[in-house]
Amino acid sequence: CATLGKWKVPKVFLHQTKNSTLWVSNPVRIPTHVEDIFYKYAICRRENKWFRKGKLVVDYFEGVGGERTNRKMEFLENHYDLWQDNYNMKLNMRALKNDFQFVKSIYDNIKGIETLKDRIMEYQYIARQYKDLTNSATNINFIQNKLASSVSKEQRLFLCILLGSYMLQPNKPMINGCYLPQNFPSTNLLEDLESIDSDFSLSDTRHLVSHAIRALVQHNSKYGFTTWFKMFTLAPILDESYAFIDAIEVYNFERRSDQFLNALGDN
């Protein structure tokens, strides 16, 4: 990056996260008075391989075509870039599809309600930039595993957005006529939806929340739970068209009539 120094002098260094394809840098301060900032990734080495603290030199830059492949800086809190292939090094897309770490990295950076919307925007950004890779990482196993280990309501709400995105993917497998496995914690997610405020639901995530709700209602009703009844109260905020009704599965409450009547009374 010429703004941070000379092109041939490495300035910002990346380190690989353990056992993954993800490389990250420490936070970098970028001057805001410069109108356009361009940067590029490069492979570097010590000028003399026998000295660990010797001068660093650039072996080669990413991309083919010189300045035409320079990246223009976007003023975002976090950047999610993929290496641009050149004659020396190309991405292994098959390996990357099985280990696309951007979704996990975004999830791990949810620190509370004040960061939730930023992380959702980052997810939407990578979904636009790397649609197929993001879809491969947004799978039901990832969502369910993270739900099991989640420690905050904000993390679970983010996973609800991911579930909505997953439901929009084509060719999803069905298990016993349901898109979610039987042990999926639909009750917990439906309860968390009670804490979504109207500003959140009216953002451009509304359609994702709606698709997630349908999947949760189908699962919750199919396996004899009654938490989905809450949606009649929440629908004016989360699902104004009451589309979730079409996802309700019939369950025989003959032996659990008290539970059914209590659920009706509570909602």
DSSP string, 12-79: S-EEEPTTSS-EEE------SS-S--EE--EEEEESSTT-TTS-EEEEEESSSSGGGGPEEPP--SS-
* Residue 205 pLDDT > 70: yes
pLDDT confidence bin for 267, thresholds 50/70/90: low
Amino acid 257: pLDDT: 46
Angle between helices 140-149 and 153-167 (to 10 degrees): 170
Which helix (H) or strand (E) segment holds residue 40: the answer is: none
Instruction: Report the mean per-residue pLDDT for the chain.
Output: 86
* Residue 3 pLDDT > 60: no
Cα of first residue to Cα of last residue in the chain, in angstroms, is 58
Q: How many CB atoms lie within 10 A of CB 253?
A: 14
* Residue 261 pLDDT > 50: no
Can you read off the two tokens belonging to residue 20?
């993954």
Q: How many CB atoms lie within 10 A of CB 166?
A: 22
* Residue 89 pLDDT > 60: yes
The SS3 assignment for 26 reads: coil
User: Of the ranges 26-30, 124-128, 252-256, which is most confident?
Assistant: 124-128
Q: Is residue 228 classed exposed, middle or buried when 0-12, 13-18 and 19+ CB atoms within 10 A define those classes? A: buried
Residue 68 DSSP symbol: G
* Residue 214 pLDDT > 90: yes
What mean pLDDT comes out for the span 93-107? 94
* Residue 116 pLDDT > 80: yes
What mean pLDDT comes out for the span 144-163? 94
What mean pLDDT comes out for the span 245-252? 81
* Residue 252 pLDDT > 70: no
What mean pLDDT comes out for the span 8-17? 83
The SS3 assignment for 71 reads: strand
What mean pLDDT comes out for the span 96-120? 93
pLDDT confidence bin for 22, thresholds 50/70/90: very high
Amino acid 260: pLDDT: 46
Can you read off the two tokens belonging to residue 248?
């309700």
Domain boundaries, the chain: 1-91, 96-267
Choice among 125-139, 162-176, 186-200, 205-219 with the minimum mean pLDDT: 186-200
CA distance 20 to 96: 9
What mean pLDDT comes out for the span 39-44? 89
More confident residue, 230 or 266: 230
CA distance 167 to 178: 11
Amino acid 51: pLDDT: 57
CA distance 103 to 109: 10
Amino acid 266: pLDDT: 57
Q: Concatenated DSSP letters for 200-250?
A: HHTSTTHHHHHHHHHHHHHHHHHTT--GGGGHHHHHHHH-TT-GGGGGPPP
Q: How many CA atoms lie within 13 A of 249 on its CB side?
A: 18
The phi and psi torsions of 79 (rounded to 5 degrees) equal -110, 140
| % of residues, the chain, pLDDT over 70 | 86
What mean pLDDT comes out for the span 149-160? 93
Which helix (H) or strand (E) segment holds residue 192: the answer is: helix 186-192
Amino acid 85: pLDDT: 94
